[in-house]
Structure 1
Amino acid sequence: MTKKDTVTIGFMLFALFFGAGNLIYPPQLGIEAGSSYWSAIAGFIITGVGLPILAVTAIAFVNDDAKALGSRVHPWFGLIFTSLIYLAIGPFFAIPRAANVAYETGIKPMVGSAGEGSSALLIFSIIFFALVFWISLNPSKIVDRIGQWLTPILLIAMVALSIASFLTFDAPMQEPTGKYSAAPFFEGFLEGYLTMDAIAGLAFGIIVVTALKERGVTDRKTTIKQTIKAGSVTAIGLIVVYGSIGWMGAKMASMGSYANGGEILADGANMLFGSFGALLLGTIVALACFTTCIGLTVACSQFFSNTFKSVKYTHVAIVFTLISFGLTNMGLSQIIAYSVPALVFIYPLAIVLIVLSFFHKLFNGSKHVYRGALIFTSVIAIYDGLEAFNGEEITAFKNALDFLPLFAEGLGWVIPAAVGALIGGVIEFVAFFTKKKRNLAVKDTSYKASS
């Protein structure tokens, strides 16, 4: 495989991850983290860039899809967990978020004060999802071609916005606020969950594996090697974009208050390039969001219709479009708020599954190791999810779990995951020798009987 192929696949993976919805988090992080920005963005990059690349590589290890990786725990876990992944990157979170970003950056700046009410968003979402559904019924190469043009243009627009902000915004960074004042690195780490790219990477991994096979890469070792190389290209692009627009947000903290990252980008573009620049950026982002929503609707509908043969693709597409439409009208800030508890629960499980896949050979792929690690992880993940949903600490559980290292930072699941994997390893070790002893006893009995 040539270097050109590696770069091409790297850019393809970048396009898959570079959903316009992801653009809303780094600027918001920048404003809130202030002078602690570099520490916070470092944590964000680990979960927003590093983990997605590891997720894609984990799929290269199994040389199959996310369901095959999850089935290492149990076939039912593989089915349920993969279904949760597609629902998260589809109608429950990612699609409504992308539609809202399209509205916030593309439509709202044009309609001014008229865009503050819910009626403008309602009208926009009706037209938006009618077109998404119509095209999703018969997706053609035109969507891919539009996406291939839009992604480079969007990237160039982001680079131009970032360079202009570096040259223009000279206000000093503000003091970190709220959650970023105590542990900015760990808060950035948790904020990276919201990109959903690590769980998306588990779904996108098979696309990379297929692209490599089409270029003649078939053996597992080379597939992993080439996936890492292509992933490095993707990682560089994402780090540059996230770091730049996050820095822009940090510099805009003294220029006003913003409800979300979409407003920050739109206002920043208006400050730097005027109304025409803001309109151009908004149009590009809106079109990118549109193609993203179509792609996700198609991918999710295909997964569920292929997994459950009795369900028709068209029916799934209708249901997912209606769900996405309904959730979109909650507004971007509300979507972000309700997605946090679910992602706080799902992400630790995904991280543990991804990490274990890299050590699969070390413990001979024992299901006991996978199950032990994930069971222990899920206990803490459930608590963290309930706490995020409740909006405050659950005192009884907190007092019982507070002894865990990194618990206060939201990473209390790390040690339990390791302990669960160790216990699973011991169970596997005992089971192996018990089985071996039983087999020797059977052979001995057979030998005596034949004598």
Structure 2
Amino acid sequence: MSKKHILFTGFMLFSLFFGAGNLIFPPFLGLESGTNFAPAIAGFLITGVLLPFMAVMAIALSDNGLLSMGSRVHKVFGIVFAIIIYMSIGAFYGIPRASNVAYELGFKQIVQVDGNFPLLVFSILFFALTYYISLNPKKIVDRIGQFLTPILLLVLGVLVVQAFIKFDNISFAPKEDYASAPFVNGFLEGYFTMDAVAALAFGIVVINALRDKGSKSKSELVKGTFGAGIIASIGLATVYFSLGWIGKVIPKEQALGNGAEVLTEAARMLFPSGGGLLFGVIVMLACLTTCVGLINACSRFFNEIYPKISYQAYVAIFVLFALLVSNLGLNAILALAIPLLVFIYPISIVLIILSLFQHVAGGGKMMYRLSICITSIFALYEVLTSTGYSPDRVTEWLKIIPFFEYGLGWALPAFVAALTGYIIDKFSQKGNK
């Protein structure tokens, strides 16, 4: 495996992660955090960069990717959870969401349109291009790593450089929660990018890309994945910091309600004659690369578990399904997906950490089963609250748990359960000797 191939694979991984959600979170963080920007962006980088990197490495170290990670709990759980992951971040949510964001924040910044028909036309063209790029998996690295990523970085670079030159570094007071807990709130912003979950799907894309370029042994794949992951992480950290800095220093001429408005306004200020075009191109490129990665990952996964249907057929199925879901509109997609996402995210984080821990200090099934069981209980509670049902008595009990008010009440109980399971596994191993 040459350094060139690892470099382009790293570029590809960067583009797969860098979707529209990643584009709009950091600027708003910079806007809201003000003088507390440093601790806020530090928290964001932990969950927005470090955790996805850990997830990709966990996939590389596992013999059969996400399936083997989940099977450490139980074989049935491994299959079911993997299917839920791929469907939720793929056809049910990630792909149609990216298409809708490309339309709302990209295309509509360039062309003023209204109604449902323009969305249908745009999504047909968008998914036709996505289908073409995704059709040959062996050319994914060439098409994304060598072409789309440099274009995306170039357009972003133009915006960022102009911001550094023209915007004065004026500090404003932090708003709301960023005044009292900037690190925690930055941490949560990165948490809600959902990149750690997406990494469980993108990990296999990296592995397959390295295999297609000649890597055969596990050590070569792990080494190549580590190199690609470092390259992608450096790129993400640099871009996230730069976009966050734009939000921090943008002149506060008017109220801005989200990261998309921050970037749109920044593009307008820095490029009065073509700001909308510049921002629109950035968004559509970011969404396109994410869609290609998700379709590739989902198609490869389902082709492996049910090979009677070809990879190309799965690509067509996911493209057509995502095309239909996309035309429901962004609000409907978000409303349908949120309960599913708040369930899978905590479980995914625990699986990632335990998988990496196992390669360092060992561990058995009880460690996985106890921690995943406890985490699942908290995740089910979050699903209930996300659908509008709030069990008051249960909420009162759970409030005593650290970080519960931040939506992280599962973290400490999962750690205690994993530690208990680890000790039980160790005693069981001694008893069997």
TM-score range, shorter chain: 0.7 to 0.9
Q: State yes or no: 1:125 paired with 2:123.
A: yes
Q: Which of the numbers 404, 407, 432 marks the counterpart of 1:407?
A: 404
Q: State the alpha-carbon separation in 2 of the partners of residues 10 and 110 from structure 1.
A: 30
Q: Deviations over 1:302-348 (max 9, x none)?
A: 42344235667677556534543344345446655654443332222
Report the alpha carbon displacement of residue 370 of structure 1 after superposing the two structures with TM.
0.7
Q: State the alpha-carbon separation in 2 of the partners of residues 413 and 339 from structure 1.
A: 21
Q: Deviations over 1:342-369 (max 9, x none)?
A: 3332222111111111221566441111
Q: Deviations over 1:211-265 (max 9, x none)?
A: 5556776555565455334322221110010111122123347243455433432
Q: Within 5 A, what are the aligned runs for 1:180-329?
A: 180-212=178-210, 220=218, 223-252=221-250, 254-258=252-256, 260-309=258-307, 317=315, 320-329=318-327
Q: State yes or no: 1:417 paired with 2:386.
A: no
Counting aligned pairs with the same residue, the percent is 45
Q: State the alpha-carbon separation in 2 of the partners of residues 328 and 380 from structure 1.
A: 30
SS in 1 for 2:168: coil
Counterpart for residue 101 of structure 1: 101
- The one-letter code of the counterpart of 2:411 is V
CA contact (8 A) 1:154 1:285 kept: no
Q: Deviations over 1:150-193 (max 9, x none)?
A: 21111121122112122223374544445545433222222223
- The one-letter code of the counterpart of 1:88 is S
Counterpart for residue 165 of structure 1: 163
Report the alpha carbon displacement of residue 281 of structure 1 after superposing the two structures with TM.
4.3
Q: State yes or no: 1:79 paired with 2:79.
A: yes
Q: State the alpha-carbon separation in 2 of the partners of residues 145 and 222 from structure 1.
A: 20
Unaligned runs of at least 5 residues, structure 1? 437-451
Q: State the alpha-carbon separation in 2 of the partners of residues 80 and 215 from structure 1.
A: 31
Q: Deviations over 1:258-299 (max 9, x none)?
A: 554334323322221123343144235424533542442343
- The one-letter code of the counterpart of 1:254 is K
SS in 1 for 2:406: coil
Report the alpha carbon displacement of residue 380 of structure 1 after superposing the two structures with TM.
1.7
Q: State the alpha-carbon separation in 2 of the partners of residues 343 and 65 from structure 1.
A: 20
Q: State the alpha-carbon separation in 2 of the partners of residues 259 and 329 from structure 1.
A: 25
Counterpart for residue 380 of structure 2: 382
CA contact (8 A) 1:199 1:347 kept: yes
Counterpart for residue 359 of structure 1: 357
Q: State the alpha-carbon separation in 1 of the partners of residues 74 and 342 from structure 2.
A: 22
- The one-letter code of the counterpart of 2:17 is F
Greater CA drift, 378-387 or 76-85: 378-387
Q: Deviations over 1:373-418 (max 9, x none)?
A: 111111222223433443x964322211112122222221121112
Q: State the alpha-carbon separation in 2 of the partners of residues 159 and 416 from structure 1.
A: 43
TM-score of the aligned structures, taking structure 2 as reference length:
0.85
Greater CA drift, 309-318 or 230-239: 309-318
Unaligned runs of at least 5 residues, structure 2? none
CA contact (8 A) 2:134 2:292 kept: no
Report the alpha carbon displacement of residue 109 of structure 1 after superposing the two structures with TM.
1.8
SS in 2 for 1:151: helix
SS in 2 for 1:373: helix
Q: State the alpha-carbon separation in 2 of the partners of residues 333 and 11 from structure 1.
A: 31
Q: State the alpha-carbon separation in 2 of the partners of residues 409 and 342 from structure 1.
A: 19
Greater CA drift, 281-290 or 147-156: 281-290
Q: Deviations over 1:405-441 (max 9, x none)?
A: 22222221121112211332344355446656xxxxx
Counterpart for residue 369 of structure 1: 367
- The one-letter code of the counterpart of 1:94 is G
Greater CA drift, 57-66 or 68-77: 57-66
Q: State the alpha-carbon separation in 2 of the partners of residues 256 and 58 from structure 1.
A: 44
Q: State yes or no: 1:90 paired with 2:90.
A: yes
Distance 1:132-1:153 versus aligned 2 partners, 3 A rule: closer
Counterpart for residue 65 of structure 1: 65
Greater CA drift, 48-57 or 227-236: 227-236
Q: State the alpha-carbon separation in 1 of the partners of residues 312 and 211 from structure 2.
A: 30
Distance 1:328-1:262 versus aligned 2 partners, 3 A rule: farther
Greater CA drift, 255-264 or 23-32: 255-264
Distance 1:166-1:342 versus aligned 2 partners, 3 A rule: farther
Greater CA drift, 305-314 or 245-254: 305-314
CA contact (8 A) 2:60 2:203 kept: yes
CA contact (8 A) 1:404 1:412 kept: yes
Q: State the alpha-carbon separation in 1 of the partners of residues 89 and 237 from structure 2.
A: 21
Q: State the alpha-carbon separation in 2 of the partners of residues 396 and 318 from structure 1.
A: 48
Q: State the alpha-carbon separation in 2 of the partners of residues 318 and 208 from structure 1.
A: 21
- The one-letter code of the counterpart of 1:101 is V
CA RMSD of aligned residues (A): 3.3
Counterpart for residue 154 of structure 1: 152
CA contact (8 A) 1:105 1:263 kept: no
SS in 2 for 1:412: coil
Counterpart for residue 54 of structure 1: 54
